Structure 1
Amino acid sequence: MDAEVTDNKSQRRFELPLPDGEIAAAYYRVDDEGRLVLIHTEVPYEFGGQGIATRLATGTFDLVRRSGGKVVLRCPFMGNFFRKHPEYADIVAG
């Protein structure tokens, strides 16, 4: 699986394509300051335990960094990911 994470702005989610047309997704909303509030991460059950959510989180954080944006972590998975990867501190807002 060499797929890349993309930002599906119309659906307000970062997507990682998976086999058979499935996707893993990190949902967000945009707050009044233009920050992306990460609210929920979803990986189809059959892909659990394969590191898909970590690949999704890494791709999401990398895209936000490249765009010059900031994220607010309201999703428990993304919060745990950040605690293990403090190198993303430059894009994480309060």
Structure 2
Amino acid sequence: MTDENRIELEDNGAKGRYVVRGPDGVEAEMTFTKVGDHQLIIDHTEVPDAFRGQGVGARLVTRAVEDARAAGKTIIPLCPFAAAQFRRHPEWADVLKK
């Protein structure tokens, strides 16, 4: 993975985002809101055309799942894209808020 495809976490207290920066400043992002200390709501995923077909959106959600699992948190996927990813990955059930 090149530096321009590295996923970065920006944590701004109650909200945050995972972002991939590409050439010319284009960004793909997945935003989230924290609910207490043990839950995240994935509320939006946006992947510009420059990243289409590269699996960037799926990688963003995967990173959130990995981080949530490591921190003992659960995820509420309100974003339709993130919800679809959870349906495709039953192995993520341990972090899915029931």
What's the TM-score bracket when you normalise by the shorter of the two chains?
A: 0.7 to 0.9
Aligned match of 1:86 in 86, 90, 95? 90
- The 3 A distance-change label for structure 1 pair 35 and 7 is same
Q: For 1:33 and 1:24, locate their aligned partners in 2 and report how far apart those are by CA, in whole Å.
A: 26
Q: What's the CA shift for 1:17?
A: 3.5
Q: Letter of the aligned partner of 1:66 in structure 2?
A: A
Of 19-28 and 61-70, deviating more is 19-28
Stretches of structure 1 that go unaligned for 5 or more consecutive residues are none
Does structure 2 conserve the Cα–Cα contact (< 8 Å) formed by 1:4 and 1:59?
Answer: no
Question: What root-mean-square deviation, in Å, do the aligned CA atoms of Structure 1 and Structure 2 show?
Answer: 1.9
Query: Secondary structure at the residue paired with 2:60?
Result: helix
Structure number with the higher strand fraction is 2
**Residue 67 of structure 2: aligned partner:** 63
TM-score relative to the length of structure 2: 0.80
Greater relative contact order (CA < 8 Å, ≥ 6 in sequence): 1
TM-score relative to the length of structure 1: 0.83
Stretches of structure 2 that go unaligned for 5 or more consecutive residues are none
